[in-house]
């Protein structure tokens, strides 16, 4: 085997960086060693000898001996500058920075062509799940129609605790942060930006379409109401934050939003920090990948797997992009929802494309039916409205069972 | 990209062969075309023009234009001869013949080295699930401790129908055969030989150990009793045929047997012809892959994926074997079981390493506790005894709840 020994320059030594260090140390299969780690904070107590650390990025970027830059910092803008310079300087890059990748997909693709170097980022999408490599290599020939799943470990942890252990939202969020699942800025998770970044990246490798994250609508979990939870529990449902992209009539659609899921659905058994990706294709039909989506070791092991792939000159081919279907993206779609709100008259049956029923009483209101994605986006920005997708819920039966009556005509 | 156009010679045109033909026809991504198909039965009405068919294997094996032999026949011995000759004649091979591969692992490894040609067989293990490629490529650096799952689509279909639709066993088997999931000889499925072949192959790529299938104990589903089903239903369990291999104290253990599974376990939601593989490793921790394990298109698409991989010169590296851990295999282990039987005195508390309780009444008997794998093998060969693994069942509570009393002292 021609595998070569790689020298690594690492940026950042937080949760994932330390995970990588441990994973690399405990395995024998990867011919790679960390030469230098660039960190920001001076005089911090660290688990490694100070001599391996530097505070000057050029100690890595200008070191001709370093083959691979491993970028594991929080700041997406600083990360992109590091990645760009690393490629210019002839280094391959491994990164787990989903925000940076999602925001610069086109540049990242072009930089790889221009400098003939690879950027691998398996750790950026669903932690330990090898979804990008599989989309690139295995689904090459499959006509994929949709990709969906649970793309964020910390919100799934929160929803699991809220549901199964009846913890309140803030308590569950604290738990996720204590375990290192939540991002340093929790709004990226709970407002569903983090899974949106991952979905943006997945779409590039699934459909060959490079989107900007801001094109995709994201609805967070922070407004899920006690009534939503009560309704779910009483009807053998659970609520998951679902990221989804699909191909329909020659267009690509995508959305991240909380969704009622039947208890016997495969996604329902995906608990705590686990993530899941469900790929539907013409030939292999439904395929599900489940694994830890967050945490030091699972993400560190995905990063190591990319480093290992570089020892045999692997790189993403972006085959679906190369095959050039180039389908347009659209938000011109509708979804079935159950919406609950406290303040009267915020939401009206007229807002629905197809209104199925409503209810008012005990100081709260429900309305259910089909709305446009634009309406969903509008409501998602209002503090007083909670919207949960309900594609697998029989809304007529819901309206009947909950003794809903039409609020307005 | 340097991808070349491959000419294929196909052996066999049954369920998977026809699936491959359709999948190849409907996709644009793979540069490959079928030149010749060798079949056994003359004068059969076929969906393709007769000119593509031959009855002489040498029309493929000696055709210098053919790059890849795709072997999709039933007969494992004939298949091995075809594969050997194809490699000798400088052709790559794609096959889905699990029996042939499992029985000739060492030779298959050596033939590839000797003739510098590839044999790929993703379609042989769990149909559409890309498990071998992932074990080879992605878990390269992960210290895998166990691999387990549902490795047989037709028995899972049968168990699902028996459980959820309360069909009887023969009716469910007929359904599986009508849908093309069951092998031509159903005993290979229901007596758990088929999943054992797959497990043997998976072990080679997981732990780098080449076993003979006969070294692994297999217990079928055909003796699962109405009492087992009743017990499962009443206790929120289901029964799945589980294939499992694990590393413990420097040895490899493996077993295929029916097992009680809690309803909220990930494997419980894997229904009908779906398969699942659960890989546990030191770093990525638990990873689950779920997909269709049988059927024309899913298996055909796995075969096509191997053909596609050959266009960029992919081959298995058998990295775990190459890394040379070479752990010994052992059947010196124990398992927790619930055993039911009709004839008295067949099974005695003395047969158990650790007897937990027993029950006799209404013409049937139960005994529960820990037994050796050798005892399990012995019982599995007796018509009158049903044994179901119960690793996640509290056997003391079972004995108490079922009002079991010790049968003999």
Distance of CA A41 to the CA centre of its chain: 28
Residues B375 and A237: their CA atoms lie apart, in Å, by 43
Interface of B with A in 142-171 (CB under 8 A): 142-143
CA distances from B109 to B112, B199, B209, B263 (A): 5, 17, 12, 40
Give me Rg for the CA atoms of chain B. 22
CB spacing of A308 vs B268 below 8 angstroms: no
Q: Is it the case that residue A251 has pLDDT exceeding 70?
A: yes
Cα atoms in the Cβ-side hemisphere of radius 13 Å centred on A196: 24
> What's the pLDDT tens digit per position in B238-296?
999 999 999 999 999 999 999 999 988 889 989 999 999 999 988 878 999 999 988 88
Per-residue confidence (pLDDT) for residue B407, from 0 to 100:
42
Percent of chain B with pLDDT over 70: 94
pLDDT at B403 over 90: no
Q: Please report the pLDDT score of residue A137 as a whole number.
A: 82
Rounded CA-CA distance B265/B254 in Å is 21
**Alpha carbon A187 to chain centroid, angstroms:** 14
Contacts of A137 in chain B (CB under 8 A): 130, 133, 137, 309
Task: Give the number of C-alpha atoms closer than 13 A to the C-alpha of residue B74, restricted to the C-beta side.
Answer: 11
Q: With a CB-CB cutoff of 8 Å, which residues 280-319 of chain B face chain A? A: 281-292, 297-298, 300-302, 304-305, 308-309, 317, 319
Longest dimension (CA), chain B: 73
Mean pLDDT, chain A, whole residue set: 89
**pLDDT tens for each residue of A341-369:** 877 667 888 999 999 887 776 667 888 99
- Report pLDDT for B173: 83
pLDDT of residue B3: 59
Give the closest residue to A209 by CA, choosing from A263, A245, A179, A181.
A245
Please judge whether A29 and B129 are an interchain contact, meaning their C-beta atoms are less than 8 angstroms apart.
no
Q: What's the mean pLDDT when you consider all of chain B?
A: 89
CA pair distance B82, B69, nearest whole angstrom: 9
Q: Chain B interface, mutation test: which of A23, A264, A284, most B Cβ atoms within 10 Å? A: A284
Residue with tokens 């197809």: A354
Q: Which residues from chain A sit within 8 angstroms of residue B294, using beta carbons? A: none
- CA within 13 Å, CB half, A192: 27
Does A7 qualify as catalytic in the annotation? no
pLDDT at B54: 96
**Subunit contact B305:A140, Cβ cutoff 8 A:** yes
Task: Classify strands A286-292 and B286-292 as parallel, antiparallel or unpaired.
Answer: antiparallel
B79 touches B56 (CB < 8 A):
no
What does pTM read for this prediction?
0.91
ipTM for the predicted complex comes to: 0.88
Cα Rg for chain A, rounded, in angstroms?
A: 22
pLDDT of amino acid A178: 82
- B308/A140 Cβ within 8 A: yes
Q: How confident is the model at residue A289 (pLDDT cuts 50, 70, 90)?
A: very high
- DSSP label at A327? P
pLDDT digits (tens, 9 = 90+) for B6-32: 999 999 999 899 999 998 988 877 889
Question: Residue B120 and residue B21: Cα distance in Å, rounded?
Answer: 18
Higher pLDDT, B363 or B90: B90
Residue B56: pLDDT above 80? yes
Whether pLDDT at A309 is above 60: yes
Rounded CA-CA distance A371/A74 in Å is 36
Provide the sign of the torsion angle of the four alpha carbons B372, B377, B378, B384, taken in this order: positive
Do the chains contact at A142 and B265, CB–CB below 8 Å? no
Angle, vertex CA A210, rays to CA A206 and CA A215, nearest 5? 110
- Quick check: helix, strand or coil at residue A124? helix
pLDDT at residue A68 is higher than 80: yes
Tokens standing for A355? 């209104």
B-chain residues within 8 Å CB-CB of A141? 23, 27, 29-30, 301, 304-305, 308
How is residue B264 written in tokens? 């909220």
Q: Which residues in chain B have Cβ-Cβ distances shorter than 8 Å to A134?
A: 130, 134
How does pLDDT run across B331-383, given as a tens digit for each residue? 999 999 999 887 766 788 899 999 988 777 666 788 899 999 999 999 999 88
Helix (H) or strand (E) holding A168: none
Are A282 and A163 a contacting pair, CB within 8 Å? no
> In the numeric block, which tokens belong to residue B202?
């998976």
String of b and e for A202-212 (b: at least 16 CB within 10 Å)? bbbbbbbbbbe
Angle (nearest 5°) at CA B194 between B193 and B196: 65
- Looking at B35, B36, B161, B198, which residue is catalytic? B198
pLDDT, position A37: 97
Distance (Å) of CA A122 to CA A257, A274, A275, A306, B94:
23, 16, 14, 7, 28
In this predicted structure, the answer to whether residue A383 has a pLDDT above a threshold of 70 is yes
Residues B248, A110: Cα–Cα separation, whole Å: 47
What is the total residue count of chain A?
Answer: 409
Q: How far apart are CA A211 and CA A102, in angstroms?
A: 8
Q: Work out the burial of residue B331: count CB atoms within 10 Å of its CB; fewer than 13 is exposed, 13-18 middle, 19 or more buried.
A: middle
Determine the pLDDT at residue B183.
Answer: 66
pLDDT of residue B53: 96
Search chain B and give the residue with CA nearest A16. B283
More confident residue, A227 or B112: B112
Local confidence band at B199 (pLDDT 50, 70, 90 cut-offs)? very high
Instruction: Decide which of B304 and B171 is more confident.
Output: B304
Of residues B273, B256, B260, the one with CA closest to residue B377: B256
Decide which of B212 and A187 is more confident.
B212
Ranges A187-191, A318-322, A372-376, B344-348: which has the least confidence: B344-348
Q: B357 CA to chain A: closest CA distance, Å?
A: 32
> Going by C-beta distance under 8 Å and a sequence separation of 6 or more, which residues neighbour residue B373?
B217, B255, B331, B332, B333, B334, B335
Query: Are A292 and B283 within 8 A, CB to CB?
Result: no
* Beta bridge partners of residue A70, listed in sequence order: A10, A94
Measured CA to CA, the distance from residue A97 to residue A92 in angstroms comes to: 15
Q: Under a CB-based contact definition with an 8 Å cutoff, are residues A82 and A10 in contact?
A: no
* CB burial readout A39-75, b (16+ within 10 A) else e: beeeeeeeeeeeeebbeebebbbebeebbbbbbbbbe
Q: Closest Cα to residue B232, out of B263, B187, B211?
A: B263
Is any Cβ of chain A less than 8 angstroms from the Cβ of B130?
yes
Whether residue A106 is predicted with pLDDT greater than 50 in this model: the reply is yes
- Rounded distance between C-alpha atoms, residue A5 and residue B392, angstroms: 44
Q: Does residue A408 carry a pLDDT above 80?
A: no
Q: Using H for helix, E for strand and C for coil, what is the string for chain B?
A: CCCCCEEEEEECCCHHHHHHHHHHHHCCCCCEEEEEEECCCCCCCCCCCHHHEECCCHHHHCCCCCCEEEECCCCHHHHHHHHHHHHHCCCEEEECCHHHHHHCHHHHHHHHHHHCCCEECHHHCCCCCCHHHHHHHCCCCCCEEEEEEECCHHHHHHHHHHHHCCCCHHHHHHHHHHCCCCCCCHHHHHCCHHHHHHHHHHHHHHHCCCCCHHHCEECCCCCCCHHHHHHHHHCCEEEEEEEEEEEECCEEEEEEEEEEEECCCHHHHCCCCEEEEEEEECCCCEEEEEEECCCHHHHHHHHHHHHHHHHCCCCCCCHHHHCCCCCCECCCCEEEEEEEECCCCCCCHHHCCEEEEEEEECCEEEEEEEEEHHHHHHHHCCCCEEEEECCCCCHHHHHHHCCCCCCCC
State how far the Cα of A42 lies from the Cα of B85, in Å rounded to an integer: 66
∠ CA B42-B47-B53 to the nearest 5 degrees? 45
% of chain A beyond a pLDDT of 70: 93
Is there a contact between B283 and A27 if contact means CB atoms under 8 Å apart? yes
Share of chain A above pLDDT 90, in %: 61
Distance set, CA A157 to CA A74, A172, A175, A180, A221 (Å): 21, 8, 9, 11, 12
Which pair of tokens denotes residue A338? 């159950």
- Whether residue B366 lies within 8 A of chain A, CB to CB, comes out as no
Mean pLDDT in residue range A276-293: 91
Cβ-nearest to A287 among B286, B287, B291: B291
Q: Which of residues 4-23 of B touch A (CB under 8 A)?
A: 23
B257, B369 in Cβ contact below 8 A?
A: no
For residue B147, pLDDT over 70 is answered with: yes
């Amino acid at each position: 085997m021609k595998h070569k020994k790689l020298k690594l320059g690492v940026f950042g030594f937080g949760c994932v960086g330390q995970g990588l260090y441990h994973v690399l140390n405990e395995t024998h299969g990867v011919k790679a060693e960390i030469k230098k780690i660039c960190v920001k904070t001076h005089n911090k107590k660290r688990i490694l000898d100070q001599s391996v650390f530097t505070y000057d990025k050029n100690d890595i970027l200008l070191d001709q001996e370093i083959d691979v830059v491993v970028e594991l910092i929080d700041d997406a803008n600083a990360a992109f500058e590091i990645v760009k310079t690393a490629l210019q300087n002839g280094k391959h890059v491994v990164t787990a920075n989903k925000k940076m990748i999602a925001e610069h997909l086109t540049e990242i693709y072009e930089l790889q062509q221009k400098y003939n170097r690879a950027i691998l980022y398996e750790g950026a999408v669903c932690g330990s799940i090898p979804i990008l490599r599989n989309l690139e290599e295995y689904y090459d020939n499959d006509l994929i129609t949709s990709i969906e799943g649970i793309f964020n470990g910390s919100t799934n942890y929160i929803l699991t605790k809220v549901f199964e252990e009846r913890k309140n939202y803030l308590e569950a969020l604290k738990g996720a942060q204590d375990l290192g699942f939540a991002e340093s800025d929790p709004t990226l998770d709970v407002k569903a930006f983090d899974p949106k970044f991952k979905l943006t990246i997945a779409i590039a490798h699934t459909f060959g379409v490079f989107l900007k994250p801001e094109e995709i609508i994201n609805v967070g979990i922070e407004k899920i109401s006690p009534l939503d939870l009560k309704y779910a529990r009483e009807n053998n449902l659970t609520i998951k934050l679902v990221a989804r992209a699909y191909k329909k009539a020659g267009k690509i659609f995508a959305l991240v939003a909380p969704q009622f899921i039947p208890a016997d659905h495969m996604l329902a058994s995906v608990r705590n920090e686990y993530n899941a990706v469900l790929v539907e294709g013409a030939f292999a039909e439904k395929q599900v990948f489940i694994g830890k989506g967050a945490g030091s070791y699972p993400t560190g092991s995905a990063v190591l797997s990319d480093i290992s792939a570089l020892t045999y000159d692997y790189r993403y081919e972006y085959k679906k992009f190369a095959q050039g279907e180039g389908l347009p993206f659209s938000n011109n779609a509708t979804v079935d929802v159950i919406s609950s709100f406290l303040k009267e008259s915020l939401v009206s049956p007229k807002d629905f494309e197809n209104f199925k029923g409503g209810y008012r009483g005990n100081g709260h209101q429900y309305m259910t039916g089909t709305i446009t994605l634009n309406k969903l986006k509008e409501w998602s920005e209002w503090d007083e409205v909670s919207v949960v997708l309900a594609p697998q819920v029989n809304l007529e039966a819901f309206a009947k069972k909950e003794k809903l009556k039409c609020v307005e005509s």
